[in-house]
Amino acid sequence: MTRIGFIGLGNMGGPMAANLARAGHAVQVFDLVPESLERAIKAGCIVAGDAREAVTGCDLAISMLPAGEHVRGLWLSEVGGQDLLGALPAGALVIDCSTIDVASARAVGAAAKARGIRFLDAPVSGGVAGAAAGTLTFIVGGESSDFEAAKPVLACMGQNLFRAGALGAGQIAKMCNNMLLAIHMAGTAEALALGVKEGLDPGVLSTIMGKSSGNNWSLERYNPWPGVMENAPASRGYEGGFMTRLMVKDLGLAMALAEHAHSAVPMGALARNLFNLHAAKGQGAKDFSSILELYRDKTDPG
C-alpha cells in the first residue's frame, strides 16, 4: 500500500482517485468542489482540508487540473502559488496528469528537480469512460527510472503506459493525439451528416464506414450521432464526456506547439476553428462529439 496525495477530482480525476483507493492505496484527496469530495469519500478516499494537507506524509502525489496556470499555482511559489513541492520530502515522486503547455510542465519539473523531487508529466487519453474503467492510456515524459517507479501506481488507473521521452514529451505527444482526435471527430460528424441528409440511416452508414477505409476511433468507439452507440455521450445529450471547451484548450496548445516548431498544421487549425465556433454558440460544456450539431439540420432524424 502506498500513501498517495491526489489533487483535482473532476470528471477524470475523481474516477482515477477512486481506482487507486479500490486497489488498496491510502489516497488523500482534495478538490474545491464539495460534491467531488463527497463522491471520493464513498469511493474510499481520505478527504483532506486543503491541498497541502492532501500531500502531507506522502511520497507520491498526483495532480489532475484544467490548465498550466493551475499546475504552476499548485506546485510552485511564483505569483502567490501554494508551493506544494515544499511540503514533500526529498525523493518524493510527483505525477501531473493534466494536459498543459510544455513550458509549464518543464518549469514545475525543473523546480522539483532542484529540490530533489522526481517529476513526471503524464497526461491521459481514454475519456471519462476510460477513467472509470481503469483503462486509460498514460503518455509520460520524464526520466525512465521515474517512469518505472510510477508504473505500479499508473497501472491501477490505466492499461496502456507509454514513456514518450524526456520531461515535456508527454504533453507533446498528447497534443498531437488530441489534434488528430479533433480532426477525425469533425470529419466523422461531417460524413454522417452528409449521408443522413441524403436519406441514409446513421446506424447503417456507421456500420458501413466502420468496416471500410473510413473507420476511425470516433466512429468505432465514440459515435457522434445520437442513438447509434448506446454508451457514447451522443446518446445522453452529449453530457458527461470530454467538454468542447477543453478540446478548444487542447487545440490551442497544439497550435502554440506548431508555431514553436514552425510546423504546418492546416487541418488542425481548421479543427480548432470549428470547435471554437461550436463553443461560441454556447456548446462549450457539451461533449466534443456534439460538433455534429454544426452540420446537422433540426429536421434530420435521431
Q: Which residues of 108-128 are buried (b: 16+ CB within 10 A; e: fewer)?
A: bbebbeeeebbbbbbbbbbbb
Pairing of strands 60-63, 46-47: unpaired
Spatial separation of the C-alpha atoms in residues 22 and 27, rounded to whole Å = 10
Crossing angle of helices 169-197 and 266-278, in 10° steps, is 70
**φ, ψ (nearest 5 deg) of residue 165:** 150, -150
Per annotation, catalytic residue among 42, 174, 197, 281 = 174
Clarify whether 281 is annotated catalytic: no
Spatial separation of the C-alpha atoms in residues 14 and 90, rounded to whole Å = 27
Nine-digit cell string for 118: 522526481
Residue 49, CA distances (Å) to 7, 53, 244 in order: 12, 6, 31
Amino acid occupying residue 13: G
Handedness of CA 213, 171, 266, 278 (dihedral sign): positive
Catalytic residues: 174
